[in-house]
Structure 1
């Protein structure tokens, strides 16, 4: 499976770039899935709903299914967070999986960067970052794209993965 990441510090523009890349790449006829890492507690379920009641009752996994979508929730209940490689095995085959976050994993990535955040670039110390998408011009030893150049970034990513 071909994978490519979008990484960067908080408020760097990762999610917006991911959204635009998914739209651009699927618009070209490719199938895309995504994996997003969250550093905080999150929930896709709501108190009072049947699936939430199943989880609270102690179910390890709950699959919620309708004619529009399927959600598969797994409660870790103290177990370790799954590795990215294990999560990828759960996905149905697609042309490309775009991964948001997972800075420390070893897959190729584009770093999203916004100068206003005041954060240093990750790229200079990380060879897995193959390009940077920034809102300001930068001098680096790898390609630098305008953060809003979705077409150019998509061309780069698709070339990198051989699509």
Structure 2
């Protein structure tokens, strides 16, 4: 599977860019899966629901299934957070996996950047950031795209991974 990341600081536009890229790339007939790193504890089900009760009772994994989708929840309990490489082995085969976050991992990435946040660029200190998608001009030794130019960004990613 081909892998490409979208990184950036909070409120840089990562999720919106991911959403637009998935729409654009799947619209070209390619299959895409996504991985999103969360820096906080999260729950995909709700207190009181059967799957939540199964997990609370101590189940290591709960697979919730319907005719439209399934979700596999794996409780880490006392284990460490799995690496991106470990998580990728759990995905079905697709043409491209887009990863939001995991900025310290070695896969190629585009940095989403919004000047209004006041954050500095990640790219100058990270050679795995191959380009920047920004809402304002940026001086850097790599390609810079308009943050809203989804077609050009998708073209760049697909060219980078050979699709």
TM category, shorter: over 0.9
User: Counterpart in 2 of 1:7?
Assistant: 7
Superposed CA offset, 1:102-160 (max 9, x none): 01000000000000000000000000000000000112100000000000000000000
List aligned pairs for 1:14-163, cutoff 5 A.
14-163=14-163
Distance 1:36 1:130 in 2: 19
Distance 1:90 1:138 in 2: 37
Superposed CA offset, 1:68-122 (max 9, x none): 0000000010210000000000000000000000010000000000000000000
Distance 1:151 1:137 in 2: 19
Tell me the secondary structure at the aligned position of residue 42 of structure 2.
Answer: coil
Tell me the secondary structure at the aligned position of residue 62 of structure 2.
Answer: strand
TM-score, length-normalised on structure 2? 0.99
Q: Tell me, which stretches of 5 or more residues in structure 1 are unaligned?
A: none
Superposed CA offset, 1:44-81 (max 9, x none): 01011100010000000000000000000000102100
Distance 2:124 2:140 in 1: 8
Provide runs of 4+ in structure 1 moved above 2 Å.
none
The RMSD of aligned alpha carbons is 0.4
Distance 1:62 1:56 in 2: 11
The alignment of Structure 1 onto Structure 2 pairs a total of residues equal to 163
Q: Tell me, which stretches of 5 or more residues in structure 2 are unaligned?
A: none
